[in-house]
Amino acid sequence: MKKLFIVSLFTVSLLLSTSVLAAEKIATVNVALVVQKSVAAKDVFKQAEDLRNKLQDEVTKKEDELRDEERELAKQRSLIAKEAFEERSKAFQQKMITAQKDLQARGAQLQRNYEKAMTKVKDTMLEVIAEISKEDGITVVTPKANLLYISEDADISAKVIEKLNDSLEKVKVEG
């Protein structure tokens, strides 16, 4: 008797949840496609790429300077006292460590700035999705990547791309 009651309760709750879901208007968004087609995201990517290239040029220049300095130090080895050479060698090693830490810190800061700019794009995308959902009476929006199947009619990605591009064209990546 108890098992029959539990099975009946489960069946009733399943039927109720199914009818509630049937009343919901569900849509999906291909988030990767929206980001790929976003004018602002493309601009963020280009800015970040330009800043990475600039940083790489600075790294190359610094490496060349340090190599030249190392060669000059090697030439001095036989010309100066052992203690003076060791002192200059230690100073050079410290200079290399400082340069390496500085460049790593700048690279990490560039990555954080890129992520911050992309967060702005994604936050605006969520605002656009909420706006479209309100206008179209959509009650549930889910990423397309999480679905096994949904009707193409439920995909609002194109609409999201259009509105996102209208509302956000540029986001500055701090350099």
Above 80 in pLDDT, residue 3?
Answer: no
Query: What pLDDT band is residue 22 in, cutting at 50, 70 and 90?
Result: low
> What pLDDT does residue 57 have?
95
Share of the chain above pLDDT 70, in %: 87
pLDDT tens string 75-131: 888 888 889 899 999 999 999 999 999 999 999 999 999 999 999 999 999 999 999
pTM: 0.76
Query: What pLDDT band is residue 4 in, cutting at 50, 70 and 90?
Result: very low
Total number of domains in the chain:
1
**CATH number (domain holding residue 143):** 3.30.910
Q: Is 77 part of a structural domain of the chain? A: yes
| Mean predicted confidence (pLDDT) in 36-43 | 97
**Angle, vertex CA 109, rays to CA 104 and CA 110, nearest 5:** 100
| Mean predicted confidence (pLDDT) in 58-70 | 93
Q: At what angle do helices 39-76 and 157-167 cross, to 10 degrees?
A: 70
- Computed on alpha carbons and rounded to an integer, the radius of gyration of the chain in Å comes to 29
Q: Is 117 part of a structural domain of the chain? A: yes
What is the domain range of residue 37? 25-167
How far apart, in whole angstroms, are the C-alpha atoms of residue 110 and residue 142? 31
How far apart, in whole angstroms, are the C-alpha atoms of residue 6 and residue 23? 26
> What pLDDT does residue 10 have?
45
- Determine which of 37-46, 119-128, 145-154 has the lowest per-residue pLDDT on average: 145-154
**Please, which residues have CB within 8 angstroms of residue 134's CB and are 6 or more apart in sequence?**
none
Each residue of 112-127: b (16+ CB within 10 Å) or e? ebbeebbebbbebbee
**Please, which residues have CB within 8 angstroms of residue 169's CB and are 6 or more apart in sequence?**
39, 40, 43
| Mean predicted confidence (pLDDT) in 147-165 | 95
Query: What pLDDT band is residue 19 in, cutting at 50, 70 and 90?
Result: very low
Query: What pLDDT band is residue 134 in, cutting at 50, 70 and 90?
Result: very high
